[in-house]
Amino acid sequence: MTRPLIDCSLRAAFGSEPPGFAAVCHRLGYQAGALGMRCEQTEGLRTAHGFSFGLCTPFTKVVDTTLHGWGEQDSRPVSEMLLQAASGLMSVHGRAAGGARPLGVDYVSTLASVLALQGAIACAVGQLRGGRFDRCDTSLYAAALLAVGQYLADATAPEDAEHLLPGRLFADDQPPFVSADGVRFELEALEAGPWLRFWEAAGVAREVAGAGWRSFQLRYAKAIAPQPAPLLAAVAALPYARVYELAGESGIALCPVRTLAERARDPDAASLLAQGPWAFSFTGRPGGEWPATAPGKLPLSGLTVVESCRRIQGPLAGHLLASLGAKVIRIEPPGGDSLRGMPPMAGGCSARFDALNRLKMVIEIDLKSSAGQAQLKALVRDADVFLHNWAPGKAAEFGLDKGDLLQVQPALIYAYAGGWGSDSDAPGLPGTDFMAQAWTGVASRIAEASGARGGTLFTALDVLGGAVAAQGITAALFGRFVANAGGAVYTSLAGAASLLCGDALEAAVRGEDLSPNVAASAVFATADGLLAVDCSRGQSRVRLSSVLGLPIAADFDELAPQLAQALLAKRAEDWLRLFEEAGIPAALVIEDLSRLPLDALASRSMSAGAYAQVNSPWSFT
């Protein structure tokens, strides 16, 4: 197991972080360890409204990083649930989940921990290249907004903007499907043909299967996938074994919604936890030659990344590296990526595509041709990173695998952002978000924690996987400058999943059951709009009872029904003002994403372009 930050340490006031930062602090410590760092307890870095840490390496000055809650100079109490509410994440999840509600996993905290550590390591890389970069700031809220960036683009596009609200569709009409013997399962089809064959074999009329496909194929973009009743009924009448047979015969992929306990029994589960979500290797062959240009204002400026990725995970990784200053050259097939034309459009390009790719330079190359392969090699010769997410086996078929490209550029970091850990661990399913959620136990965990039937149609693993890939690449670049050798880093949706549910998965590997922390907090209707109130702390419950003139409740279950009734009396904004004065953690639930740019705090993290663009989550000084 290669760990690129060996001999480095992370100093922080672990264990005395402010409320709302426990999960992020814990995840940071875990990743630091998996990257080879020692975690050192330093009370001096204790802060009241954020979490600060120092990245110490033998080769650089200390990089001081602060992860704020809502943002710098905003001391309002923060929590995972409130961040999901105020960023629109709850609402994207709620489009198919039957209403705005938390995902039930520490999603924002996990994503923010990845970004914070990535920012710090990028600073160290910037220092190794002669820049200053001794301070990085980011926030939990910036991470939450990054997560909804593409949905926000769709909701604020100038032409045919999406207007999808939570709670307008029945959760039971959405995948996962359920068989006659009660097995919940996800289907995956990337083409209409197999989908049609499957449903015809299950006894569904063609046109009904077609109506299902129209909704199903757009679920990655819209986070909804309502299915016609005859489809749901057709599989509900068949035992799972028969559904499995039909899927095999039709060429459609099928994955049961597995529990974390099942996932924990997979051979790769324990090793993935020990290794972390990245697999690094360095060639040991000194490369030596890299651009000597001093970086500019951003820590990775002057570095070049060549990216050949489709869809979400890989392009987001490239977007994050570009946000850190790297020059990202995106390879697209002749005629351009077909996703460019997907409505809604903004300035001649799909808004959601632009949200992930706007910072890149594009070159069209036919990678199937030998001329195209040579062209790619020529680009890689002058690059620092090559990132792809090709289907397994493609790199070898193109003659563009790790060995081929490291021969061309020995100092290269060869990065792969895939679906599964490695070929030997792959379950033989397409490496797409909802397959990965079902396989890894994430879907089951979300179902258990949020009362849903399956996972989330918010592309949770694509986004987290993209951040993990960019973070792994940044750590590999650090390793490259230190070891003076090129190498490789492989990340996957499955790795992102093990990071997201790390504690529960670790418990499951030990044979224990760590029940989800169903937060004592919830979403309430008011006279106007939804309000998220976090009552996990006893103190908040006492204050809440006092503000509302209610008897002090013993626990949240007793308080919740009274609260639901009482909050109907005023508008959400009025309650929020009262709660803020009383120090009760609360936030307005953003239901309509197009309203997000009107929010004073959110708008600070956005730029008004043809659509609302989420800014880089980092700032450097």
Residues of the shown chain interacting with another protein in the complex, contacts defined by CB under 8 A: 159, 188-193, 196, 206-207, 209-210, 213-214, 216-218, 220-221, 311-312, 338-343, 345, 348, 430, 432-433, 459, 462
- Min. distance of Cβ 272 from another protein in angstroms? 22
Which of residues 419 and 479 has its CB atom nearest to another protein in the complex?
A: 419
- Min. distance of Cβ 41 from another protein in angstroms? 41
On whether the CB atoms of residues 465 and 437 are closer than 8 A, the answer is no
Residues 6 or more apart whose CB falls under 8 angstroms from that of 108 comprise 80, 83, 84, 87, 89, 140, 143, 144, 147
CA separation (Å) from 257 to 189, 219, 607?
Answer: 17, 18, 39
- Min. distance of Cβ 531 from another protein in angstroms? 31
- Min. distance of Cβ 364 from another protein in angstroms? 15
Which of residues 211 and 550 has its CB atom nearest to another protein in the complex?
A: 211
- Min. distance of Cβ 452 from another protein in angstroms? 19
Token code pair at residue 172? 């039971």
Which of residues 9 and 150 has its CB atom nearest to another protein in the complex?
A: 150
- Min. distance of Cβ 28 from another protein in angstroms? 28
Element (H, E) at 607: strand 606-608
Of 280, 321, 314, 317, the closest CA to residue 482 belongs to 280
Helices and strands: H and E segment counts in the chain: 27, 23
Which of residues 348 and 511 has its CB atom nearest to another protein in the complex?
A: 348
Which of residues 348 and 551 has its CB atom nearest to another protein in the complex?
A: 348
- Min. distance of Cβ 454 from another protein in angstroms? 16
Strand partners, 80: none
The whole-angstrom distance between residue 253's C-alpha and the CA centroid of its chain comes to 23
- E-assigned strands of 309-365? 327-332, 345-346, 349-350, 361-364
- Min. distance of Cβ 500 from another protein in angstroms? 17
Which of residues 118 and 432 has its CB atom nearest to another protein in the complex?
A: 432
Taking the C-alpha atoms of residue 219 and residue 96, their distance in angstroms, rounded to an integer, is 10
Taking the C-alpha atoms of residue 513 and residue 599, their distance in angstroms, rounded to an integer, is 40
Which of residues 123 and 438 has its CB atom nearest to another protein in the complex?
A: 438
Which of residues 98 and 212 has its CB atom nearest to another protein in the complex?
A: 212
Token code pair at residue 232? 């749901």
On whether the CB atoms of residues 27 and 113 are closer than 8 A, the answer is yes
Of 470, 516, 252, 508, the closest CA to residue 356 belongs to 470
Buried b (16+ CB within 10 A) or exposed e, 356-365: bbbbbeeeeb
DSSP percent split of the chain into helix, strand, coil, nearest 5: 45, 15, 40
HSE value, Cβ hemisphere, 13 Å, CA-based, for 161: 17
- Min. distance of Cβ 24 from another protein in angstroms? 26
- Three-class SS of residue 619? strand
- Min. distance of Cβ 458 from another protein in angstroms? 11
- Min. distance of Cβ 309 from another protein in angstroms? 12
Taking the C-alpha atoms of residue 59 and residue 482, their distance in angstroms, rounded to an integer, is 8
Element (H, E) at 450: helix 442-450
CA separation (Å) from 52 to 67, 82, 156, 450, 463?
Answer: 6, 21, 34, 31, 24
- Owner of token pair 């030998």: 370
Which of residues 430 and 529 has its CB atom nearest to another protein in the complex?
A: 430
- Min. distance of Cβ 549 from another protein in angstroms? 48
Which of residues 463 and 531 has its CB atom nearest to another protein in the complex?
A: 463
Which of residues 348 and 549 has its CB atom nearest to another protein in the complex?
A: 348
- Owner of token pair 């977007």: 319
HSE value, Cβ hemisphere, 13 Å, CA-based, for 267: 7
Which of residues 37 and 153 has its CB atom nearest to another protein in the complex?
A: 153
The residue type at 542: V
